[in-house]
A and B are shown apart, each in its own frame.
Chain A
């Protein structure tokens, strides 16, 4: 839509391509207010419940994932069942939303960072069911 040489100096070299629609000023408020919810109707029951202990998978995909390296192959506890949400890993790869259950999982700081971390401190991450196995 815009070429690198155009962006370099702000001067258009060719006319714009046709686009289906553009946002009009009187549409802004409604569009911002609407947002883009990521929850989808559940098609199954959640496998895990509050207080369950889980282990995160230890996979290292080359594409998009929301499971950071520091929390792979770690033991945690289900702190909240957050809902049934679009799975970003497949969605980002063009493989569809494939919604699944999302949990807030609590890890002790020592589980993640070793014995230098303060006893009692913790980190939570929001993790999809596909990242978790029972432990």
Chain B
């Protein structure tokens, strides 16, 4: 019985490599570990899909904001304080009964970090990246979505520094909800275009 990979550690190969890299960078004086902790803390707690959900809920409840978002998403989103990396240039895509929007980066894994945080693994995977452009309806079916007849799919391949945020349609029966309650309904995948609300 050979399990030499697991004799000394329960870490996966990737975890072990990351730890080795971090400890070398620290030992050689190239990084300050507390700065690294601050970056990780930022993406664990302060920058994530909750930011995008605020943008969507505001667009649903404030027509002036929705118009601004449509005309200049960068300024509208920055006005809410979401100004961080990978959100320098934003475009908002409004789903309608006629058009369903979906976002991919076929070349790498470009993603609107400032409003959605770090991308999920499936978003970075070669199968999603290849199929989203060539067979978007098949990808949507894998996510359990069938679009109504008469709805076209528009896929956006993020080939430049523009980052895309999908604004899903507001669900029926939510007229009584305030902005906070509405934000709680908005899922990450709905803002990528791989879920409906």
Tell whether A and B belong to one assembly. Answer: yes
Partner-B contacts on A (CB < 8 A):
1-2, 6-10, 12, 15-17, 19, 22-25, 27-29, 32-33, 35-39, 66-68, 70-71, 80, 82-83, 85-86, 88, 102, 104, 106, 109, 112-113, 118, 120-128
Contact residues in A for B31 (Cβ distance below 8 Å): 22-23
Partner of B27 from the list A16, A19, A28, A36 (CB cut-off 8 Å) is A16
With A25-B34, A82-B160 given, is the CB distance from A39 to B89 under 8 Å? yes
Contact residues in A for B107 (Cβ distance below 8 Å): 66, 68
Q: Bound complex: CA of A104 vs CA of B161, how far in Å?
A: 11
Interface residue tally on B, bucketed by range: 35 or more
CB <8 Å contact, A67 and B159: yes
Q: Bound complex: CA of A71 vs CA of B133, how far in Å?
A: 11
Partner of A2 from the list B28, B35, B133 (CB cut-off 8 Å) is B28
Contact residues in A for B134 (Cβ distance below 8 Å): 70, 112-113
A38 to chain B, nearest CB (A): 4
B31 to chain A, nearest CB (A): 6
Q: Bound complex: CA of A125 vs CA of B110, how far in Å?
A: 13
